[in-house]
Amino acid sequence: MTALAFVVVAAVFTLMRAVLTSGQPVDEIPWRTFTVNISGAFLLGIVVASTWWNNPVVATTAGLGSLTTFSTVAAEAASLLDNGCKGRAMAYVGITVVAGIAAAWFGLSIGEMS
């Protein structure tokens, strides 16, 4: 049952990411990928810090793990570099890391209240 839930949730969250992040311009900061990653980090913070979620592997590993992506950030930064947008590539990676950690911290704080 857990295995089936894992497969379904992983498929659904992967598709959500694919649809939400497809078709972004290659020479601008991909804000939709940024939004998906930061939201996922925030939600994962809530789930892992919550005491009421006993077996979160489907929600965390299959769901939010598949929703967010690390390799796409690298690909998008490389794409920005290829298109001559060095500053945007650096800014994109920098704000993704800083905002992601801040969002995760905020999520952990909220999760601990539950």
Partner 1 sequence: MSRFRLDAGDLLAIAIGGVLGASARWGITFISTDATTGDWFVSAPNTSLTAGTTITGSESVGAGHAIASASGIPVDTLTVNLVGCLLLGALTLLLIRSTTTSRRLLIGAATGFCGSLTTFSAFAVEVAWLLRAQPVFASRPVGENVRFDRDVPGLALYVVLSIAGGAVAFAVGRILADRFVGSAPNPTIGEPA
Under the binding rule (CB under 8 A), the answer on residue 91 touching partner 1 is: no
**Position among 29, 88, 92, 103 found at the interface with partner 1 (CB under 8 A):** 103
User: Contact, 71 vs 60, CB < 8 A?
Assistant: no
Residue 29: CB minimum distance to partner 1, A:
13
Task: Based on the shown chain and the rule CB under 8 A, indicate whether residue 95 belongs to the binding site for partner 1.
Answer: no
Closest contact distance (angstroms) between CB of 88 and partner 1 is: 15
Task: Say what the alpha-carbon torsion angle 72, 78, 80, 86 is, to the nearest 10 degrees.
Answer: 130
From 1, 4, 71, 87, residue interacting with partner 1 (rule: CB under 8 A): 71
Q: Work out the burial of residue 42: count CB atoms within 10 Å of its CB; fewer than 13 is exposed, 13-18 middle, 19 or more buried.
A: buried
Query: 45: which 2 tokens?
Result: 């913070």
- Tokens standing for 36? 């998906």
Residue 66: both structure tokens together? 């598949």
Q: Which positions lie near partner 1, rule CB under 8 A?
A: 6-7, 10-11, 13-15, 17-19, 21-26, 30, 33, 37, 40-41, 43-45, 48-54, 57, 60-62, 64-79, 82-83, 93, 96-97, 100-105, 107-108, 111-112
